[in-house]
Structures are given as C-alpha cells and as structure tokens.
Structure 1
C-alpha cells in the first residue's frame, strides 16, 4: 500500500497520508515520501495550491516510534523532520490542512505548518510530546507561540492537553470548523479560489507574513516583494480585468520592460 497518495485537480495538489491502520502515523517511508512530494510541488508551476489530509478518518497521530532502535544519532534522524518542516514552510504556494479525526504531536504541527486549517467538529488536537518524555518538534516551538501567544503555547505544550476543534478555532489554531459532510466541498472551494489567485503575489505575501520581523525589516521586504510583483504579467492583467469587468486570468508570467532604441 502506498503510504502517500498524490492527486492533482485544476491546479490543486492533494497529499493524503495513507496509513489508516496506524491513524496515519509518520514512519520513515512516509517521511521520505512527504519530503519528496513537497519538494516536487515547489518546483511544479502547475501546482497553484496544496492540501494535506489523512485517510480513514484521521489526520495524523504523530511520528511512529520504530520497533528497532537505529544506531544513527538522533540529531541525524531529526534532520528528516527538519527538512519536511522547512519544505512546507518555504513552499511558494498556499497550503491547506484538512483535518478529520486526530492530529497529535508532529501530526498537529504538520497541520499548523500549513497556511490555513479546516477541521471537522470531530477533530481533536494534542501537543502530546510531554506525555512521551519529549519536547515539541516539526516546528511546534516556533509555530505555537506565534499563533496563540507564549502563555497559551506553554499551556498546550507543558500540559499536553487534548483540545477539540472549536477550542482550537477559538485559539486561532484552526481557521474554519466545517461539518464532515461538507468539509470536502468547502476545502475544494477555498483551494479553487487560491489556485485562481496571482501565484507570484501570493508567494510574496506568504513569505512576507512568514518572515516578518521588525517594522523596518517588513517595510524593506515589502518593497522588494512589490518590485517582483510589478514585473509580473498579473498586475496589468488585474487592472485590465477590473476595467473590463471580468475575472482576472493570473499566470505568474514575467513581463520585463521593453525598450525601444533609435537607430
């Protein structure tokens, strides 16, 4: 059985963690497949949005503890997780986590690493690491305080409580809570809107928000991003569509300024 399913439709690539018998726990094979799929998506201009979800009514129950202990130092083994977290963070297209069922430990942080999170009311979440004698990984120590503030991040990480979808939404850890019978259609609508957006501008926007530091740094980064955007065919297309009262057709193509020279 393939541990990661990949599906493309209308510019949206869906990655489905496919180990339902293990509630989609991430083993070595799935880590490698996920890292490869994210790298490929980042290089494919046909991908305009990406969804990560899980099969069989669960999102992901975290990283699977191997039966046999590897002789490799844990720092080397952790590089696999680090690579996946950075690939997801740096992916130039918008990402959506569709969470049904449990999202635990690294599984929850995988969802938090996405730009948007849609969950069903049955979803549950836990930073379970402390119960296992561990500390957060897959970016959780950076993501949590950024999303909920330091005190709530400490509560979730230190007590390792399990929270439901509504509490997660109230804390800002879930973007939408949608009934199970409607979640697929809802996610399809969101990703269709993202896929129809201007790819260069969305990539610049995502990077600006992810990397925001001081106001001075943000202003300098915004200026550089707008320079990139103005070199895109999407800007004149947006203005033309506004004038012509139609939907814009964004491509992300580059349109360098032309120069006429006299002879």
Structure 2
C-alpha cells in the first residue's frame, strides 16, 4: 500500500502492518490513508478470509502524529481527519465480514488503542501497554473508543480510563478484558499469525454472521436480537460450510470450510 503500511495476502490471510517504526507508528496523513485503503482492500477481497493487524518496531501505534498535527493547527485546520480517516478505518475493522486479529506490541495509545479495540481478537506481547491519551491533549474520543471501550470494560471503567488517561500494562489489560491473550514478546508474531490462520481456515461466513449479530445486539432489545439471530442463523444454516461440517461430524472427520 505504501511506505507506511505494508499489505500482503497469503493463503487467505491478509496482513496489514504499520511500518513507521522510527515514529513509533504514529499516524501521519500518509499512514492513515494507506491503512484505510489496505483495510478496505482486505474487506472487499473475496480471497481474504481473515485479517491480521500488526506493527513493526517497538510500538504498535501511538496514535496521531502530533508533529504533523501542530502544522495543521497552525495553518488553521481542524479535525477533519476524524471523518476522513479514523472513522473509515474503525468501520473497516469492525464491520468487515471476516475476523480481524490485532497483534499489539509495545505502546498502543489514542487511535492506536482504538483500532486494536475495534478488532475481534487481541493478542498482546508482555511489554504491550494501552492508554486512551485523548484527554491528555485536550481532546474527546475518536477511532470508535467511546463505543468499544465501554463494551470491553463497562461504562464506569471506560469513563475512568478516558477521564484519567494512564498506562495500562499487559497484565492489567488482560484482567480488564482489553486483550484476550498475553504472550512473551518474542512469541507474539508467531502466535498472532497462528491465531489468524486458524480463523482464516474456519467457517468465515459464520464468523461474518457472528460479527453482525454481536454488533446489532449491542444496541438493540432482546426481541430485536432474537429476530436478527433468526435471519442470520437461517443464512448460516443454508451455507455449504454448515452442510460440510454436519457431514464431517457424522463421519467423525474434521470439516474443511470454504467460507460459502
């Protein structure tokens, strides 16, 4: 996609890698545009069955590149980047009909944390840390954090982390539910790839339905959630993956999923 974001697809797995290690993967305009475009490409590519969001260097992503942002402010600019970049990036992660795994190495701050929170599964290296960061620079939230954070840790804890930004280490992040697994730093890359590949080899049509059901139920009544489950389960029940899995179960074999 460019010098700031690397994009590769192999055996159904798209790997999107932030690649500004000298800037701790801070998000300048080029990085945001390349990340947005890479995620949209992965979402729209029928050959992609799962996505791994990763980063090179000692940090996952420290959020907005404030050096560039200073210039925008001095030129009289505002926060148009939210609509142009942060919102489309977050939506691409959260709504694409395939699972997204975030491999968090080092610091994830501001929008960097927000993008990780929007993923479906988060694996962190032991040295990883998270901070909301926004209030510390006089800002509200973006990158979907007002929506994702309280669903991960509850309203009260989300409010605390947003009003009083602080470093949350990997052990506490696991305890709070910000991440699903913590592994030694040297094992993060391999573990993240293995997890993403496991999802890529799974019933991806069913995963898409699960994502849609969860997102809808987060803001709907029980009757509405049940109605949505009826529609989505009917769709999944008519899939080739479901038929193949049932047949494999009867034969006591491992199913092979095609995502159809």
**Residue pairs, 1:82-101, within 5 angstroms:** 82-101=87-106
For 1:240, the equivalent position in structure 2 comes to 247
By percentage of residues, which structure has more helix? 2
Residue 118 (1) aligns with residue 118 (2): no
Q: Within 2, Cα distance between the matches of 1:73 and 1:223? A: 47
The CA distance in 2 between the partners of 1:19 and 1:73, in whole Å, is 24
**2:166 aligned with 1:135:** no
Q: What is aligned with 1:24?
A: 25
Aligned to 2:78: 74
Q: Following the alignment from structure 1 to structure 2, what is the Cα–Cα distance between the partners of residues 184 and 54?
A: 10
CA distance in 2, matches of 1:109, 1:78: 12
TM-score by length of 1: 0.92
Q: Whole-Å Cα distance in 1 between the matches of residues 110 and 212 of structure 2?
A: 25
Matched residue, 1:259: none
* Structure 2 length-normalised TM: 0.93
Paired residue for 1:103?
Answer: 108
Cα shift readout 1:102-143 (whole Å, capped 9, x = no counterpart): 000110011101011100111111011111011111001111
Alignment of 1:217-256 (within 5 A): 217-253=224-260
Q: Does 1:38 pair with 2:74?
A: no
Q: Identify the residue that residue 48 of structure 1 maps to in structure 2.
A: 49
Larger radius of gyration: 1
SS at the partner of 1:30? Answer: helix
User: Are the equivalent residues in 1 in contact too, given 2:202–2:259 (CA < 8 A)?
Assistant: no
Stretches (4+) displaced over 6 A: none
Root-mean-square deviation over aligned CA pairs? 1.5
User: Which blocks of at least 5 consecutive residues in structure 1 are unaligned?
Assistant: 254-263
1:180-219 deviation digits (Å, cap 9, x = unpaired): 1222221122112211111111100111112212111110
Aligned with residue 214 of structure 1, among 214, 221, 226:
221
CA contact (8 A) 2:63 2:110 kept: yes
The alpha carbon displacement at 1:88 in A equals 1.2
Aligned equivalents of 1:63 and 1:231: distance in 2? Answer: 44
Q: Distance in 2 between matches of 1:217 and 1:74?
A: 39
- Partner SS for 2:15: strand
Cα distance, 1:86 vs structure 2? 1.1
CA distance in 2, matches of 1:124, 1:250: 35
Which whole-Å CA distance do the structure 2 matches of 1:57 and 1:76 have between them?
29
CA contact (8 A) 2:18 2:54 kept: yes
**Matched positions, count:** 253
| Alignment correspondent of 1:13 | 14
Shift of the alpha carbon at 1:158?
Answer: 0.4
- Greater alpha carbon shift after TM alignment, 136-145 vs 77-86: 77-86
2:155 equivalent to 1:154 = no
